[in-house]
Structure 1
Amino acid sequence: ALGNNTVEVLDLRKGERIRSITGLGAPQGIVYIPELDRLFVANDKAGIFKIYDGKSFQQISELNFEDDADNVRYEDTMRRIYVGFGSGGIAIVNAQDGKQIGSIKLSAHPEAFELEKNGQRIFVNIPNSRHVAVIDREKGEVVTTWKTDLAFGNFPMALDEANHRLFVGCRLPSKLIVLNTESGDVVAKIDISGDPDDLFYDSKRHRIYAICGAGKIDIVEQTDPNMYTALTKVNTADGARTGLFVSERDTLFVAVPHRGSQQAEIRTYRVE
């Protein structure tokens, strides 16, 4: 809960909040690792990366990335956590001991990024540089960059690794850009609602869900790797642009912010 400086812990079976972790500074990225029972939270303010025990929710340790610790991703094979931060970097953290073991330099602040599971690349949205950076994890450096065909403000991202397709949500104008990860070419552009901030790929149904701050969930169908059709738009609430798709539950969770008479809440949408 970025605006509340907390992490809210929810019981999905009961549909209720069971804990509020306080004392954070505009928390943004978060990852929970079950086998370690550890919770990792990246904070915008001062770039503090906090590590908590998953049972007691007590803080164990923290790392200081100095500014704007943002998106967080976990790579389970090597048990490494990747944290986007500052004016251009991704930190590499050993999940087992919480120590930083490396850093990858970027041209500007990273937004959403995706890790290949069957390869060594990381795809990173760099909106201020108007490109997607491609990192080789073994080399620890950017090996190429891809343009998004005159669509800028590239913040959210999702990956269809099996079909070699990268989905990038752009805000200027609002477009879903589809890139071929073998060539870097743009293979499709689809109009979507304003202010996209989260993207999810549903491999079971071959769909992309774009959660947009304009108060919509845009659903796009993947007919084949090069063909996409806008299916429908689901109404949510003004500013509701953060979410989580849990494929095992066939459920999309969307966070609604408090605005005027609109109460802060988590909404659940069943995917069929």
Structure 2
Amino acid sequence: MKQSLAKATVIGMITLATFQQAANAQAGKNLHILSTYHIASNGGWDYIAIQPNSNRVFVSHGTQVNVLDKQTGDSLGYIPNTEGVHGIAFVPALNKGYTSNGRAGNATVFNLKTLAVTGTVKTGENPDAIFYDAHSKKIAICNGRSKDLTFIDPATDKVVATVPVGGKPETAVSNEAGKIYVNVEDKNEIVVVNANTYKAEAHWSLLPGEAPTGLAIDTKTKRLFAACGDNKLLVVMNAENGAIVAKLPIGDGCDGDCFDPQLHNIYTSNGEGTITVIHEGSKDQFTVTANIPTKKSARTIALDEVTHKLYLPAADFEAQAPGATGRPKMKPGSFQILVVGN
């Protein structure tokens, strides 16, 4: 009797786990645009960020960062004079936030509660992606033109290290255990940086993936998800040894991706106007489950891990004449944030 009961319990647990996996994968197929938040001012954009444990979303926008209520889209303020801003990072324990200002070549430091600017820190050339590494307790910034990483100590707002990576760093993530992984766009590789010694330790090829842009990580399964924009491919890499685990098709024009650790879904934001949803069945099993319509130009993305909603900046553009080259002109006042969910 006891043995049969134990077997039944195990079978029940397996069935429940299988059902949950199927439900998580199915959830990606039901995604759609729930809301559109309009921001009337002009200017380009890059990254968007959700402040943890808050109701605020931070949007890079030309020469400032707009701060919105993530539930209503109402304006909660802005951070000025962030020339060519790319990204935003948060250090809640110190009540600080940071922006990477590409054209200014610095990082703006601001009070996380009041949004008041408290200072700037000189970085490398053309600072782009930025994030807070909880392991080293440092702000890490990818500098595209000087081809290096800047590490800032938020306790002092001083640069503590500059790490060359041998190419243009596009995005970086941490395994939260001393390793930082960097997408090097012009070398088609991941560079592994030791967050304790500030040294580049390895260069791992992403080929056949080309021009990696978005990068996300599953710290539990130790898998990296590199979105390669030039050939519409998501490359899954083993974060322990650089081995390529899987290669999956994604939409065109991807510039960002993210991973939902609860639903085990990877989302790539494709500038063509889609989100590709890839489900992680196990550490070595990945399946494209959906391509969700969004809006052309929605190429970067942020995940709210509490609500599982996705936030994507986009805009409307003027029609181009046949044979015209370069980026089309953005329609004035058309900048917007798409909120995508179930």
TM-score bin (small chain): over 0.9
- Are 1:164 and 2:222 matched, yes or no? yes
Residues 112 and 124 in structure 1, CA contact (< 8 A), matched pair in contact too: yes
- Are 1:22 and 2:80 matched, yes or no? yes
- Are 1:223 and 2:269 matched, yes or no? no
- Are 1:33 and 2:91 matched, yes or no? yes
Q: Tell me, what secondary structure is at the counterpart of 1:35? A: helix
- Correspondence for 1:198 among 247, 252, 256: 256
- Correspondence for 2:237 among 163, 167, 179: 179
Q: When the two structures are aligned, how many residues end up with a matched partner?
A: 270
Closer/same/farther in 2, CA of residues 66 and 93 from structure 1, 3 Å limit: closer
- Percent of aligned positions with the same letter in both sequences? 21
The aligned counterpart of 2:339 is 268
**Superposition TM-score, scaled by structure 1 size:** 0.93
Distance, in Å, in 2 between the alignment partners of 1:37 and 1:258 is: 35
Unaligned runs of 5+ in 2: 1-43, 46-60, 319-330
Distance, in Å, in 2 between the alignment partners of 1:206 and 1:195 is: 23
Partner deviation per Cα, 1:236-260 (whole Å, 9 max, x = no partner): 1111112210111221111112424
The aligned counterpart of 1:112 is 171
The aligned counterpart of 1:99 is 158
1:140 maps to a residue whose letter is Y
The aligned counterpart of 1:123 is 181
Closer/same/farther in 2, CA of residues 76 and 120 from structure 1, 3 Å limit: closer
Residues 195 and 214 in structure 1, CA contact (< 8 A), matched pair in contact too: yes
The aligned counterpart of 1:63 is 121
Residues 80 and 93 in structure 1, CA contact (< 8 A), matched pair in contact too: yes
* Structure richer in helix, relative to its length: 2
The aligned counterpart of 1:242 is 300
1:266 maps to a residue whose letter is I
The aligned counterpart of 2:35 is none
1:37 maps to a residue whose letter is N
* Structure richer in strand, relative to its length: 1
Closer/same/farther in 2, CA of residues 66 and 141 from structure 1, 3 Å limit: closer
2:188 maps to a residue whose letter is R
- Correspondence for 2:149 among 53, 76, 90: 90
Closer/same/farther in 2, CA of residues 120 and 76 from structure 1, 3 Å limit: closer
Closer/same/farther in 2, CA of residues 225 and 73 from structure 1, 3 Å limit: same
Partner deviation per Cα, 1:159-186 (whole Å, 9 max, x = no partner): 0111121110002211000111222111
Distance, in Å, in 2 between the alignment partners of 1:78 and 1:131 is: 23
Distance, in Å, in 2 between the alignment partners of 1:156 and 1:124 is: 10
Shift of 1:91: 1.0
Shift of 1:229: 1.1
Shift of 1:264: 1.4
Residues 46 and 66 in structure 1, CA contact (< 8 A), matched pair in contact too: no
Residues 105 and 125 in structure 2, CA contact (< 8 A), matched pair in contact too: yes
Residues 46 and 65 in structure 1, CA contact (< 8 A), matched pair in contact too: no
More off after superposition, 214-223 vs 96-105? 96-105
Unaligned runs of 5+ in 1: none
Distance, in Å, in 2 between the alignment partners of 1:244 and 1:165 is: 19
Residues 43 and 68 in structure 1, CA contact (< 8 A), matched pair in contact too: yes
Distance, in Å, in 1 between the alignment partners of 2:198 and 2:233 is: 30
The aligned counterpart of 1:50 is 108
Residues 79 and 117 in structure 2, CA contact (< 8 A), matched pair in contact too: no
Distance, in Å, in 2 between the alignment partners of 1:220 and 1:182 is: 22
Task: Choose between structure 1 and 2 for higher RCO, CA contacts under 8 A separated by at least 6 residues.
Answer: 2
Distance, in Å, in 2 between the alignment partners of 1:107 and 1:12 is: 38
Distance, in Å, in 1 between the alignment partners of 2:312 and 2:285 is: 27
Residues 216 and 224 in structure 2, CA contact (< 8 A), matched pair in contact too: yes
The aligned counterpart of 1:254 is 312
Q: Tell me, what secondary structure is at the counterpart of 1:56? A: coil
2:96 maps to a residue whose letter is R
Closer/same/farther in 2, CA of residues 55 and 205 from structure 1, 3 Å limit: closer
Shift of 1:195: 1.2
Greater Rg by CA: 2
Closer/same/farther in 2, CA of residues 144 and 186 from structure 1, 3 Å limit: same
The aligned counterpart of 2:193 is 135
Residues 257 and 263 in structure 1, CA contact (< 8 A), matched pair in contact too: yes
More off after superposition, 49-58 vs 131-140? 49-58
Distance, in Å, in 2 between the alignment partners of 1:77 and 1:138 is: 9
